[in-house]
Structure 1
């Protein structure tokens, strides 16, 4: 074999190696970009879920301040809201019947519970669970379940 043919094999080998390295690098960059876009959309969905939480808290506050403690029974769920970045769906608002405190399951009806502060009965409270879904226009979805301890505006003597 002559020197020109031998050099051609070396050049061909190095070109193949360079193309393989370029392929691996470009595929990693593309995967990173796809993951970055997906994470950004998931973050937008989480923000939508937080916006739904604020909306639900506002609804709870308005109704409780008017003395309407069973308002959620008359609402039809899901409550759907549209924004520029996606959709919010308030799936339910209900009194908590059970929840987990650590690994322990706590059962009970958390409605009209006496509120004891510094050894005195200072009123009553409810614990409400709000379930919300935030979904972006690019189909990323985040579901959240939030517990709110809401004090009733009743005067206790």
Structure 2
């Protein structure tokens, strides 16, 4: 079975994650993933999917991912540039990490779009599964997060100016395995 012919979550084989193996790589940032019903015995490399910061917000976001409500996310393009991290791309596998640092599921990227902050759509806002009913609500919440002291401390100076032209990376994903 190829990775694109994978069973749906909830099917008998997809629900049986007892055969999944996930271990952190020596770099501390990626994971070795073996999920026979998805990828055969081939080892996949998954990035760490750390949503928000450990604590209540991450707990809510991870729960929404596990329930299938959160099928999209957004990051500042500047985060990738400053961190020297590669942009996500179609087919990338991510190990979603809970607040305790434990991987709880795998997701696969189904779409990546770079967009100005002002052009984020209502459809994307709703797909983020955080209760937004439109893009304006999404913009208010994300501006607040991206200008928070915690985010600025994590990103470092200078603070990123969040305006209508600020580029954001919009990622759509699907849960492929619950661990």
Q: Which has the higher contact order (CA 8 A, sep 6+)?
A: 2
Pair in the same fold by TM > 0.5: no
The alignment's TM-score, normalised by the length of structure 2, stands at 0.21
Q: Which has the higher strand share?
A: 1
Larger radius of gyration: 1
The alignment's TM-score, normalised by the length of structure 1, stands at 0.23
Q: Which has the higher helix share?
A: 1
